[in-house]
Structures are given as structure tokens and as C-alpha cells.
Structure 1
Amino acid sequence: MKLRQPNRQTDIAAAQIISMSKTHVVVKTEQGRILRLSLSPKHQRDQVFRAALKDIWHNKIWIPVNTKLRHLFRYDWLTEPVMIDD
């Protein structure tokens, strides 16, 4: 799967998780670039989030990452955030 289009610069890349620790996730982009992404303190304590990342890692699923800010996205690239009206 190629995310980037020719002649188009973007900070979003598809990546696979290659390792995890309590505070960081290490990913490898389609271009072979290795990035170390920091997890927020909230995500470090969230056992469900960490379990989901482990499942993504072991199943080698491609995820979107911001290569400039070195962060995971809250939403994937196929869905838009949904606002819930109370």
C-alpha cells in the first residue's frame, strides 16, 4: 500500500509497529524510515489502548503516523471524527 503520491509532500506516512515499550512505540515507514513515537501518560496507563497496539503490531497492520511530530493519529485515514450530540 502506497500512501504518498508522486510530487506531493506530506507528513503522514503508513507505518508498521516493530517494537513497543511502556513509554514508546517504534515504527518502520513504507520508505524504511525508523521512528520512535512517544506515548502520552494517558496512553501509557490505558491497558486497552496498549493491548490494541500489541494486536496491531502482531498482525502487522499498517497505521498512519505523523512523521514530523512523531505521533500516532487519534483516527485512521479512512474515517472522520464523529461528533456526538447530547
Structure 2
Amino acid sequence: MLLDNNLRIKNIMPVQIVKVLYPQITVRSEAGEYLIVNISEQQLADPLFWATAKDIAHAKLWVPLGHTYHQLLADDWVLPQKDELALLK
């Protein structure tokens, strides 16, 4: 199910990655606000994460960012399936 049909969308905002310079990623919201992404220790140490972030920035794709913690979402714009949701409770 897409997040457009779920209340969880209120905690997510679409952003474009505008700058990737280790150890920081800068994004721009739809409103034009610039934010710094909070990056986990695992992401900091992952060269594939940084290469992917640069590719996304180059392609000018919109990605989901959590409002509260300013973290990129691993599950993209899709909610987990019903059986996965049962495990979250």
C-alpha cells in the first residue's frame, strides 16, 4: 500500500538531495527549506550508501524524509505488508 493512503504520511516529507559531501547530506523540501539529514553510524561507514545518495542527487529524485528526526526512510514510499505490520505491534 502506498503511504498516500495512510495517516503515517503526515510524518514524512518529500525532499530532493541537493548536496552529498561526506559526512553530510543536504536536502531541499518542497517548500524550499534546506535541511541536513541525520545519518546513522552504519550509513556513515557504507560506501554504497554514499554512492547511491550521489546517484539520487544527480537524478534529482524526490525521496521520503522523516519530519521529526530528518532521516531518510529505508522503506521508501511503501508501507510494509499486513503480515509485517503484525510484527510491529
TM-score range, shorter chain: 0.7 to 0.9
What residue number does 2:32 align with? Answer: 32
**TM-score w.r.t. structure 2 length?**
0.73
CA contact (8 A) 1:35 1:67 kept: no
Question: Matched residues, percent identical?
Answer: 29
Q: CA deviation at 1:39?
A: 1.4
Distance 2:38 2:69 in 1: 10
* Structure 1 stretch displaced more, 50-59 or 15-24: 15-24
Partners of 2:80 and 2:24 lie apart in 1 by: 26
In structure 1, the residue corresponding to 2:37 is in which secondary structure? strand
Name structure 2 gaps, 5 residues minimum.
Answer: 85-89
Structure-1 separation of matches of 2:58 and 2:75: 20
TM-align CA RMSD: 2.5
1:79: how far off?
A: 5.4
The amino acid of 1:33's aligned partner reads E
Alpha-carbon distance in structure 2 between the residues aligned to 1:57 and 1:27 = 9
Moved over 6 A (4+): none
If the length of structure 1 is used for normalisation, what is the TM-score?
A: 0.75
- Bigger mean CA deviation after superposition, 10-19 or 55-64: 10-19
Say which structure, 1 or 2, has more relative contact order (CA 8 Å, 6+ apart): 2
Bigger helix fraction: 2
